[in-house]
Amino acid sequence: MQIAPSFLSCDFSKLGEELVRMEKANADFIHLDVMDGHFVPNITFGAPVIKWARPYTTLPFDVHLMISEPHRYIKDFADAGADIITFHVECDSDINETIDLIKSFNIKPGLVIKPNTPASAVFPYLEKIDMVLVMTVEPGFGGQSFMEDMLPKVKEIKDHARSLGKEIIIEADGGINASTIAQCAEAGIDICVSGTGVFKAEDAGQAIAELKSKCR
């Protein structure tokens, strides 16, 4: 299991130190939640903040766009240093065009599905993307409760990808902590986002080690 601490839960008054702390804690990615106050009822940060954050760590930046028109801003996030860009299949941009644009910057594209969206919504795009992010809370806020009824989507997506001769990476996001991560591992999830579970822990290294130990 790989762990992607969500930057949303960091102390923004010391953004750089927080990233160094995550790298020392053995995080595998940094997950960056971009919200526009339109696609979701919350506003976070955009490409300029990601650009400021970029020099503080070599960990890959996994940028999760919760915005209505991702296509308009892909170049900005590419310039800011994104390594993976995921955007919602429920957004208003053309999905194929947005995937192609992400790839044109040599960035890995992924699609995200909200809790009420069926797994089959991503099937038409599986051959073109590297990752599917399954939301295990309603997107918008950190610190919500894990929705375990989302887990069957993982097998559905993996099975469909395999039928196309493809191995897809599945990431899960929302409410993942030491009490919920074992179920994620069992369901076949490859990467777990954890915001409060890691950033708010006194010892982030111990928190990540504990999360990983629950998956063995």
Q: Which of residues 46, 70, 109, 195 is near ligand DX5 by CB under 6 A?
A: 195
Q: Which is nearer to Zn ion, 64 or 153 (CB)?
A: 64
Q: Which is nearer to ligand DX5, 21 or 31 (CB)?
A: 31
CB of 162 vs ligand DX5, minimal distance in Å: 27
Q: At what angle do helices 204-213 and 15-24 cross, to 10 degrees?
A: 40
3-state secondary structure of 33: strand
175 binds ligand DX5 (CB under 6 A): yes
Burial class (CB in 10 A: 0-12, 13-18, 19+), 170: buried
62 binds Zn ion (CB under 5 A): no
Question: Is 76 assigned a catalytic role?
Answer: no
Give the total of residues touching Zn ion (CB under 5 A): 3
How far is residue 126 CA from its own chain's centroid?
17
Q: Exactly one of 28, 62, 130, 173 is catalytic; which is it?
A: 173
The CB density around residue 215, as the number of other CB atoms within 10 Å, is 15
Distance between CA atoms of residues 137 and 90, nearest Å? 15
Residue 118 interacts with which of ligand DX5, Zn ion, none, CB < 5 to 8 Å by class: none
CB of 31 vs ligand DX5, minimal distance in Å: 6
86 forms bridges with which residues in the sheet?
64, 110
Site for Zn ion in 7-46 (CB under 5 A): 33
Smallest CA-to-CA distance from 19 within 30, 4, 33 is with 30
Q: Which of residues 174, 180, 187, 211 is near ligand DX5 by CB under 6 A?
A: 174
Distance between CA atoms of residues 97 and 147, nearest Å? 31
Provide CB contacts within 8 A for 123, sequence distance 6+. 157, 160
Question: Is 173 assigned a catalytic role?
Answer: yes
Q: Which is nearer to ligand DX5, 100 or 210 (CB)?
A: 210
Are 30 and 59 in contact, with CB atoms under 8 Å apart? yes
Amino acid at 55: P
Site for ligand DX5 in 22-81 (CB under 6 A): 31, 33, 64
Give the residue numbers marked as catalytic.
33, 173
The residues that touch Zn ion, with contacts defined as CB under 5 A, are: 33, 64, 173
The residues that touch ligand DX5, with contacts defined as CB under 6 A, are: 6, 8-9, 31, 33, 64, 137, 139-144, 173-176, 193-197
